[in-house]
Amino acid sequence: MAHIITVTIAGGAYNGPEKDTKISINADKISSIKETDKEDSEVGNSIITLTDKTRHNVTETREELERLINGK
């Protein structure tokens, strides 16, 4: 059974939507989470990479994402 979580794709991020957009993803397909640097020109708090190599700038912090993934 898939472990589905909802994250918010940061609006205005490279190759992303114009506005913040919620999507549901299978948490088991997240291969990495990286906090964005303050100096980073990208929008969002974290970048998630999925097992299919797609990347998403999301508004959630690494800590928030880990809570969602762990169901807490």
Which pLDDT tens digit goes with each residue over 17-52? 889 999 999 999 999 999 887 665 556 789 999 999
Q: Would the pLDDT of 69 be above 70?
A: yes
Q: Would the pLDDT of 65 be above 90?
A: yes
pTM over 0.75: yes
Binned at pLDDT 50, 70 and 90, residue 12 comes out as confident
What pLDDT does residue 38 have?
65
d(CA 23, CA 25): 6
